[in-house]
Amino acid sequence: MDIIKALSAFSALSQKTRLETFKLLIRATPERVAAGDLARTLYVPQNTMSSHLTILVHAGLLNSIREGRSILYSADLDGTRALVSFLLEECCQGRPDECELVLNAILPGCCSDY
């Protein structure tokens, strides 16, 4: 990921509703969630939620798929992975053993090999 794409993702996540939406969809993975359900869950008007979702999709953090009259959203795990990798690519000078606390915080229970 280049710095321009990273800045776009950070900008998208720097707003409360968008960050809450992203976190909700990360928790829901691999399920997809309808835009209307997201709006109701977060108590946001549907047209406002639609704008937030568009920003997150353009930032590479969400995927969308049309199913009938609904648009379903899910976290874009490739985009999320690229953003986290961008942040950590130079972590601890490339020594994962030095980054154990960081990796365990990001992926609790997933990094016992480090």
> Which amino acid is it at 110?
C
Q: Which residue has the higher pLDDT, 87 or 83?
A: 83
Domains defined along the chain, listed by start: 1-114 (1.10.10.10)
Tell me the per-residue pLDDT of 40-86, one tens digit each, with 9 for 90 and over.
999 999 999 999 999 999 999 999 999 999 999 999 999 999 998 88
